[in-house]
């Protein structure tokens, strides 16, 4: 369906109802039903206490899905008495239109610092400015889980969805990035290399990781020792190589299970490097998805184990940061 058409109908509808409803409320007369629901839609007159979240909770069984109602009705909040359309079934899976399809950018951050910047380190003020940039431009950070719902064609994603990921390099993830993410209310994923979590010096500790997880940060897997899983060393036998990369997955999983009580569902390839063998092992270990460091954005038909991520350089300008985002690929389908 063309979005312009849908939007224009919703706009006209809002104006109409704003006028009609007070008129109808003027005299005492037949009570009208406040909601009409079917398998596909709910058409609802909002109650005094309703918000987008309460409506999403009632009709979509998840308050986090309030963006679906907002987007469909082209509104940012709901007024009492307003008539709202709720698409009960996903209306635009995969974000496909006749002119092309939706793409989702995934950002990969490395290290953070209070006030130093280099190729891989983002300083506090810059990170805040970047999060503000997302907000000012109406971008919607979504969790990795919701991103994979989009990839698996089971849920739609906001039109300007982005995913924030951090390949952890130390405690600054907790002291610099985490508070800013909380402040903006943005979901994010931190990929953890278990041997690096020592709690000593500048390293993260499991207490900090647990605190982030409790606050809604997704914790992902980035091996035990950060070994490149696609490179066999010259003096390493094939058998030793297989043992080593298997351990990178399974031993780290044991640690995650002990420390967090669960196996991570998502994996970040060290140095972004992967091949078929690594993907087989991930599949066998039950991972739902894995992320590379190949630049680019992701349509829904991206392979679950080959998700592209754009590394965010520590010294990137806000102008170049903006170029990392592209939400739609034009392609005439007929």
Partner 1 sequence: MTSATKTLTSLLVLTLLLALGLTLAPTFASADVLADVQSLFEQQKEEDDPFLLIHAYYVKAGKQAQDSGNLTSALEFFRIASTIDRRDRDSMKSARDLLRDLTTQAAALYDEGVTLQEKGDADTARKKFLEALRLNPNNTKPLAYLKDKMLVQPEESYVIQEGDTLRRISEKIYGNPGGELLLTRINKLSIADRLKPGESLLVPVVPPALAKRLALVEFEPEPMDMAKPDKQEVAMAHMKDQPSLPMAQKQDISQSEATGVEALLAMANIQFGNGLYETAVSMTDEILSTQPGNTKAADIRNESYYRMAKGLWDKGSASQSMRMLRRLPSDYKDSATLRSTVQAKLNEDSEPLYLAGVRYFLNEDLENAVEQWELALEMNPFHPKARTDLEKARKLLEAVKGL
Near partner 1 in 184-243, by CB under 8 A: 193, 195-196, 198, 200-201, 203, 223-228, 230-233, 235-243
Interacting residue with partner 1 among 134, 274, 287, 289 (CB under 8 A): 274
DSSP string, 134-150: HHHTT-EE--HHHHHHH
Q: Which is nearer to partner 1, 28 or 261 (CB)?
A: 28
Distant-in-sequence, close-in-space partners of 303: CB < 8 Å, separation ≥ 6: none
- Torsion angle of C-alpha atoms 275, 281, 282, 284, degrees rounded to 10: 140
| Interface region with partner 1, contact rule CB under 8 A, candidates 59-67, 111-119, 171-179, 254-262 | 111-119
Closest approach, Cβ 285 to partner 1, in A, equals 9
| Interface region with partner 1, contact rule CB under 8 A, candidates 117-125, 129-137, 139-147, 254-262 | 117-125
- 204 vs 210: CA distance, rounded Å: 11
Per CB under 8 A, does 265 bind partner 1? no
Q: Tell me how many degrees the CA angle 196-200-206 measures, rounded to the nearest 5.
A: 60
The count of residues interacting with partner 1 (CB under 8 A) is: 105
Interacting residue with partner 1 among 129, 260, 265, 306 (CB under 8 A): 306
Q: Which is nearer to partner 1, 213 or 225 (CB)?
A: 225
Q: Tell me how many degrees the CA angle 334-3-295 measures, rounded to the nearest 5.
A: 70
Residues 208-245 as b/e (b if ≥16 CB within 10 A, e otherwise) read bbeebbeeebbbbbbbbebbbbbeeeeeeeeeebeebb
Binding mask of the shown chain, residues 20 to 59, with x at each position contacting partner 1 by CB under 8 A: xx-xx-xx-xx-xx--xxx-xxxx----------------
Task: Provide the sign of the torsion angle of the four alpha carbons 42, 45, 49, 51, taken in this order.
Answer: positive
Task: Provide the sign of the torsion angle of the four alpha carbons 66, 69, 75, 79, taken in this order.
Answer: negative
| Interface region with partner 1, contact rule CB under 8 A, candidates 182-190, 213-221, 289-297, 320-328 | 289-297
Q: Which is nearer to partner 1, 145 or 246 (CB)?
A: 246
Q: Which of residues 125-164 bind partner 1 (CB under 8 A)?
A: 153
Closest approach, Cβ 63 to partner 1, in A, equals 22
Interacting residue with partner 1 among 253, 292, 297, 298 (CB under 8 A): 292
DSSP string, 111-131: EEESS---SSEEEHHHHHHHH
Taking each helix axis from N to C end, the angle separating 238-260 and 206-214, rounded to the nearest 10 degrees, works out to 60
Per CB under 8 A, does 329 bind partner 1? no
Per CB under 8 A, does 330 bind partner 1? no
Per CB under 8 A, does 83 bind partner 1? yes
């Amino acid at each position: 369906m063309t979005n312009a058409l849908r939007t224009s109908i919703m706009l006209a509808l809002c104006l109409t109802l704003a006028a009609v409803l007070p008129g109808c409320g003027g005299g005492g007369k037949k009570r009208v039903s406040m909601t009409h629901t079917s398998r596909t839609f709910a058409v609802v007159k909002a109650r005094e206490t309703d918000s987008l979240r309460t409506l999403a909770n009632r009709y979509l069984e998840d308050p986090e899905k309030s963006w679906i109602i907002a987007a469909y009705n082209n509104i940012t909040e709901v007024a009492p008495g307003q008539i709202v359309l709720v698409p009960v079934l996903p209306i635009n899976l995969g974000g496909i239109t006749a002119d092309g399809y939706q793409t989702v950018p995934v950002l990969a951050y490395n290290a953070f610092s209070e006030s130093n910047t280099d190729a891989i380190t983002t300083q506090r003020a810059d990170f805040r400015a970047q999060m503000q940039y997302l907000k000012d431009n109406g971008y919607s950070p979504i969790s990795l889980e919701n991103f994979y719902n989009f990839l698996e064609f089971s849920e739609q994603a906001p039109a300007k969805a982005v995913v924030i990921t951090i390949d952890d390099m130390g405690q600054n993830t907790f002291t610099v990035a985490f508070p800013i993410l909380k402040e903006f209310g943005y979901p994010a994923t931190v990929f953890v290399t278990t041997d690096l979590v020592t709690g000593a010096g500048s390293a993260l500790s499991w207490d900090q990781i647990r605190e982030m997880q409790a606050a809604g940060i997704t914790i992902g897997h980035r091996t035990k020792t950060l070994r490149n899983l696609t490179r066999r060393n010259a003096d390493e036998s094939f058998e030793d190589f297989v043992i080593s990369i298997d351990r990178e997955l399974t031993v780290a999983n044991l640690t995650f299970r002990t420390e967090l009580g669960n196996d991570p569902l998502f994996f970040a390839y060290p140095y972004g490097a992967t091949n078929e063998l690594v993907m087989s092992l991930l599949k066998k270990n039950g991972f739902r998805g894995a992320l590379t460091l190949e630049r680019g954005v992701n349509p829904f038909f991206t392979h679950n184990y080959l998700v592209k991520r754009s590394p965010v350089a520590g010294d990137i300008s806000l102008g170049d940061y903006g170029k990392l985002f592209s939400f739609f690929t034009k392609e005439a389908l007929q």
